[in-house]
Amino acid sequence: MNRFPLKPATALLAATLLAACSANAPKEAQPAPQVRQVTQSAHCGLTGPGVAPVSSPEALENLLGVSGQNMATGVIRQVDLASEQLIIVTLGQKPTAGYSVGLQDVQWQEPVLKLAMQVNSPAPDMMVAQVITSPCVVLAVKGDHWQRLEVSGLTPQPIVKTAGK
Amino acid sequence: MVLVSGMAVLAGCGGGGSGSSVPALPPSPLSGVISIEANSRVDQDTMNQLGLEGAQVATGTQALPASFVLAGYVSGAAGTYPSASAQCQPFAYAEDAVDEYSVPLAAGETLVLESFGSCLADPELELVVEGAGPLSASVNAGPARYTLTAGDSTEYRVTVRNTGNAPARYILAKSVAFGAEGMAFDWPRYRFIEGEAVVALADDDTVRAAMATPAAEKARALGAGEWLMTMPGNRVRSAQAGPVAEDTLNWIRELRATPGVLSATPNYVVSSQQTGTPVSEPLYTRQWHYDLINGPAAWQLAPGGGAGVNVAVLDSGLLRLPSGAWHPDLDSNVQSRPAYDFVDNDTIPADPGSSVGGDVFHGTHVAGTVAAVVNDAGSGGVAYGAGLVPVRVLGEGGTGSSADLIAAINWLVAGSGGQPYADVVNMSLGGLPRIQDLEDAIAKGVGKGMVFVAAAGNAATSTLSYPAASPNVLAVSAVDGGGQLAGYSNFGSWIDLAAPGGDASRDGNLDGAGDVVWSTSGERDGGVSIAGYRGLQGTSMASPHVAGVLALMKARDPAMNYDKVRVWLQGGQMTDGQARRNDTLGWGVLDAARAVSAAGSGFADTILSASPALVSLSNEGEQSVSVELSVFGDGNVSNLSLGDMPAWIDVTGCQSAPPCALQVTLIKDQLTPDEPARGSIVVNYQVDGASADPLSIPVIGQLVSDEQARNAGRHFVLLVNTEPNEDNLYMAESQVTLDAENGVYSFRFENDDGEEPQQLREVRPGDYYLVAGSDLDGDGIICQPGEACAEYPITGLREVITIEEGQSLSDIRLTTGFSRPTISAASPDILPRPGFQGYQLRAPETQTGPADNRIRMTQ
């Protein structure tokens, strides 16, 4: 198992480092997928906490067409879906401003890609804008050979996605 | 079906629908008509045409109408789609690098080119409008937008060029629906009084200096630093006696360049109550929340829009443009007013956006609901004439400290010269516990005549949230478009009243869209703030409706204070609550007209009010609308008569005294096709025997005339399997091919005669999806982005259709178009289709392949 704490704004997983550190890796182990944070938004328009892998332009347009979202669509569309897969991690609807979600940590246990999310919430009794928000983070993953994706930090149990589903 | 080799040609078969004139046709198992969305057009040389043997690329220029959504195909080279890709079928594509169009364009109109590439690649497309440089469009880079900023209104040659070798589908569109949803609607130019200007000056010394110079002859104080000035007679340069419009405008331009002059505007003529209020703003049709609070009637009662009153917005600051101006829909109401940033401790409360979590521009949104300017653009605020005092107390991510809030309130209360900086204070923030210093600060303000209003909070609890729960603050809960408490809104014994906060998950007013509150906002692009508009929801959005109405009231009653407000509130004079209180809506939902009337210096105004406040008619929408006229106030309204109205409407009704209804009906033959027309219905009336200011009801009329000319390209109507194959493609079992005739596609399937092979148009009993669409890039798949698509019964909500032996389904109706349904609060039934690739056409059974080894996809 490889574990690297990452700064949310500059999260990038180095595949070579991960491969080198892997003590029990099989001989033909695949390099770890590289994960980077593309953008965050307070208004993604998605009402439930969840994880949405996006591989096709059509699926992306569906998500970018959601009412009420204000994601930085320019940087998202710049991602080449032929070489990177987008993963949108959303906190769901929140009652006020002050919430955000970012990438905290990445682990690669072939063939499981584990993403730990940093969720920020306003402290109790903090003064906050009383607007409904739907925070999310958009990640780009280079290397689509993960079979299972586990995203922790959003819900008590990790949210699990299986490749192709 | 056998694909003989890697190439196929879509060979045309003509119409082939049910338009046959052969008598006594056997019953069809399935027939119907596919109508086409308005303004749909198709490129004249898509693969539907280029796939024909011997076809040549069109060399002519294709003329397009004033509004259109056109789908097209361009490819820099010919070739064959790769068979290896699941998204491609191994069909041939032709070279057609350039498409040329002739497009009527007027200044301010926008042309959009969106590329969808093809299964092969995402080539770069160029949009070239005659006289301008190329603009790039691709799936990755996004669409290209060209706006004609200046120049003649004429036909422009528009070129779509594919700079790569791979094919691409694209949409080229020009529509009044682009931009801010109808902002292209051009309301009549406001008239102004020649020789007069409304001028805002920096300070008293400047006023004296300006009055002492020949720049302006007379000045009358209008309050809030504004003066009505008259142009000196010697400034008239025209031959005509007296000032004329151009001289007045030249004079105003010079005034604006004069030191100490903050702003100078013509003295606009208010010809009727509705002109120059938020009703005449382009976004008004989306602002259900203004009708809910009886805004249009209130603006008749308070035509100044709260002029002379200052409203402080304690929030995240305002969007500030690189030029130093505030959001253009707020700027003139902010200029020359006090401002402070308690987060950064400076005098410029600019909202920098958030470094984490995206940019909200919460304060800009709230301020716009209070007092966005009525300026023929965007939206207007409830108190569109009031001054805005922006105070920044919320920083990163929309959070802040109670210390900053207390300091901000103390600063406002202290004010200048013993006068507080604001008459009304809006706080769309909350979550604090009770803090004595905060209570003290607010109490001092109340003692000086200030009125504080705050958002109740969005936690859906009755737990006290301060500052709203303070006894000296009006706590505002939120309602949806149906006037019901929003699901997120706080409630409890401490709620004073309710106002629209929206609820995106509901459509309470049944207007087909989620109930969000629309106001000013913005975005950050490359570190630069760009002004815009946005729909948001929350008690944050409810509170500024109340603050705006309080400003309108303060303008009517300068002695208004918190005690008077509470008396009006509990007497049912500010709400629809009829002096009964409950724990969800407090004393009821805000009624701006009742509130303004209550503040009307002890006399009750009587006015005639219209609902809806704006009428929109179209031959493809509502052709006749009933407008309810009701009386607001205690006077006796009589002698109703219709004044001016456009020739393209017929108005009947209201023969007796109101309340009554006018029936407004579109007269189609009086409209110029495809040119939206605007006008007003003027209703004259008397109150207690004296003439009252007439009621003016804005009307929009549109005659969509392109029914016959609509064309979404050759259509394939398919009965497909209800489960996709391993490549996520739904395979056609039966298929008919049609060209548009008189703007529709008429289709007809036939019963299977039992003979092999099954003909394409023959249907066997079973369960299917009925779909139709175009295949503009010739890859054998319909309904890809950039291609037309129709599903039965509604696109996006397909249902299984069952074909039974011996039964006939006729008059089946579908609608095809290039747009797709989106997942939104307005259409919660639509589900995403991750991995959906389209519907795959069926090639004919070919006993003997053509000599050139091509599959002919014919019937």
pLDDT tens string A115-138: 999 999 998 889 999 999 888 898
Considering only CB atoms, B540 lies closest to which of A72, A102, A130, namely: A130
Say how many CB pairs under 8 Å bridge A and B.
Answer: 180
State the DSSP H helix or E strand holding residue B324, giving kind and residue range, or none if neither: none
Q: For residues A79 and B196, give the distance between their C-alpha atoms in angstroms, rounded to a whole number.
A: 56
Tell me which residues of chain B, numbers 120 to 159, contact chain A at a CB-CB cutoff of 8 Å.
139-142
- Report CB contact under 8 Å: A122, B539: no
Contacts of A62 in chain B (CB under 8 A): 822-823, 832-834
Q: Check residue B1 and give its pLDDT.
A: 28
Residue A54, CA distances (Å) to A59, A89, A149, B231 in order:
6, 11, 13, 64
Q: For residues B113 and B128, give the distance between their C-alpha atoms in angstroms, rounded to a whole number.
A: 10
Q: Check residue B206 and give its pLDDT.
A: 59
Q: For this complex, say whether ipTM is above 0.90.
A: no
Residue B431, chain A, CB below 8 Å: the answer is yes
Residues with Cβ within 8 Å of B496's Cβ and at least 6 positions away in sequence, in order, are: B474, B475, B476, B569, B586, B587
Considering only CB atoms, B538 lies closest to which of A57, A67, A132, namely: A132
Q: For residues B97 and B28, give the distance between their C-alpha atoms in angstroms, rounded to a whole number.
A: 42
Considering only CB atoms, A95 lies closest to which of B401, B488, B836, namely: B488
Q: Check residue B176 and give its pLDDT.
A: 44
Interval A77-94: pLDDT, tens: 778 888 888 888 988 889
CATH 3.30.70 fits B192-268, yes or no: yes
- Report CB contact under 8 Å: A129, B402: no
Distance (Å) from the alpha carbon of B395 to chain A's nearest alpha carbon = 9
- Report CB contact under 8 Å: B538, A67: no
- Supply angle C-alpha B161, B166, B167, rounded to 5: 65
Contacts of A138 in chain B (CB under 8 A): none
Residue B459, chain A, CB below 8 Å: the answer is yes
Distance (Å) from the alpha carbon of B445 to chain A's nearest alpha carbon = 20
Mean pLDDT by 10 residues, chain B (859 residues): 29 34 68 87 86 72 85 92 72 92 82 87 93 86 76 87 93 57 26 70 63 58 64 60 63 78 63 59 84 88 90 96 91 93 95 71 96 90 97 91 94 94 97 93 96 95 93 95 87 95 73 78 78 90 98 94 93 82 93 88 68 76 84 84 89 87 92 78 89 83 76 92 80 90 90 85 92 91 88 81 89 84 40 67 50 30
Q: Check residue A13 and give its pLDDT.
A: 37
Q: Check residue B478 and give its pLDDT.
A: 96
Q: Check residue B97 and give its pLDDT.
A: 93
Considering only CB atoms, B356 lies closest to which of A77, A78, A102, namely: A102
Token pair, residue B248, equals: 């007045």
Residue B506, chain A, CB below 8 Å: the answer is no
Residue A92, chain B, CB below 8 Å: the answer is no
- Report CB contact under 8 Å: B401, A56: no
Residue of B nearest to A78 (CA): B140
This prediction's pTM: 0.57
Q: For residues B43 and B40, give the distance between their C-alpha atoms in angstroms, rounded to a whole number.
A: 10
Distance (Å) from the alpha carbon of A110 to chain B's nearest alpha carbon = 25
Residue A47, chain B, CB below 8 Å: the answer is yes
Cα B700 versus chain centre, distance? 15
Q: For residues A1 and B227, give the distance between their C-alpha atoms in angstroms, rounded to a whole number.
A: 74
Q: Check residue B709 and give its pLDDT.
A: 77
Q: Check residue B492 and give its pLDDT.
A: 92
Indicate which residue of B96, B291, B315, B480 is catalytic.
B315
Q: For residues B741 and B15, give the distance between their C-alpha atoms in angstroms, rounded to a whole number.
A: 8
Residue B547, chain A, CB below 8 Å: the answer is no
Q: For residues B226 and B222, give the distance between their C-alpha atoms in angstroms, rounded to a whole number.
A: 5
Relative to beta strand B715-720, strand B766-773 is antiparallel
Residue of A nearest to B401 (CA): A127
Distance (Å) from the alpha carbon of A7 to chain B's nearest alpha carbon = 13
- Choose among B636, B621, B629, B670: nearest CA to B653: B629
Indicate which residue of B289, B327, B362, B715 is catalytic.
B362
- Report CB contact under 8 Å: B356, A120: yes
Q: Check residue B604 and give its pLDDT.
A: 52
Q: For residues B470 and B453, give the distance between their C-alpha atoms in angstroms, rounded to a whole number.
A: 10
B739 is catalytic: no
Residue type, B100: E
Residue A71, chain B, CB below 8 Å: the answer is yes
Contacts of A71 in chain B (CB under 8 A): 358
Top-level class of domain B613-702: mainly beta
Q: Check residue B501 and give its pLDDT.
A: 96
Distance (Å) from the alpha carbon of B548 to chain A's nearest alpha carbon = 18
Residue A97, chain B, CB below 8 Å: the answer is yes
Contacts of A72 in chain B (CB under 8 A): 358
Q: Is the peptide bond before B724 cis (omega within 30 degrees of 0)?
A: no
Residue of B nearest to A54 (CA): B834
Considering only CB atoms, A131 lies closest to which of B505, B523, B540, namely: B540
Relative to beta strand B615-618, strand B528-536 is unpaired
Residue of A nearest to B406 (CA): A127
3-state SS track over A101-144:
EEEEEEEEECCEEEEEEEEECCCCCCEEECCCEECEEEEEEECC
Residue of A nearest to B432 (CA): A125
Residues with Cβ within 8 Å of B854's Cβ and at least 6 positions away in sequence, in order, are: B4, B5, B7, B8, B9, B92
Q: Check residue B169 and give its pLDDT.
A: 93
Q: Using an 8 Å Cβ cutoff, are B436 and B457 in contact?
A: no
Q: For residues B772 and B788, give the distance between their C-alpha atoms in angstroms, rounded to a whole number.
A: 8
Distance (Å) from the alpha carbon of B794 to chain A's nearest alpha carbon = 18
Residue A73, chain B, CB below 8 Å: the answer is yes
Distance (Å) from the alpha carbon of B504 to chain A's nearest alpha carbon = 9
Residue B401, CA distances (Å) to B90, B303, B394, B445, B465 in order:
64, 38, 8, 20, 15
Q: Check residue B188 and give its pLDDT.
A: 23
Q: Check residue B852 and give its pLDDT.
A: 31
Residue A56, chain B, CB below 8 Å: the answer is yes
Contacts of B365 in chain A (CB under 8 A): 131
- Supply angle C-alpha B379, B380, B384, rounded to 5: 165
Residue A100, chain B, CB below 8 Å: the answer is yes
Q: Using an 8 Å Cβ cutoff, are A104 and A130 in contact?
A: no
B362 is catalytic: yes
* DSSP-derived 3-state class of residue B158: strand
Indicate which residue of B540, B543, B597, B609 is catalytic.
B540
Q: For residues B231 and B193, give the distance between their C-alpha atoms in angstroms, rounded to a whole number.
A: 11
Q: Check residue B857 and give its pLDDT.
A: 33
Q: For residues B368 and B375, give the distance between their C-alpha atoms in angstroms, rounded to a whole number.
A: 13
CATH number assigned to the domain covering B278-598: 3.40.50.200
- Report CB contact under 8 Å: B399, A131: no
Q: For residues B486 and B517, give the distance between their C-alpha atoms in angstroms, rounded to a whole number.
A: 12
Residue of B nearest to A101 (CA): B357
- Report CB contact under 8 Å: B315, A57: no
- Supply angle C-alpha B559, B441, B499, rounded to 5: 60
Domain locations along chain B: 1-37+710-859, 192-268, 278-598, 613-702
Q: Check residue B275 and give its pLDDT.
A: 46
B540 is catalytic: yes
Higher pLDDT, A19 or B38: B38
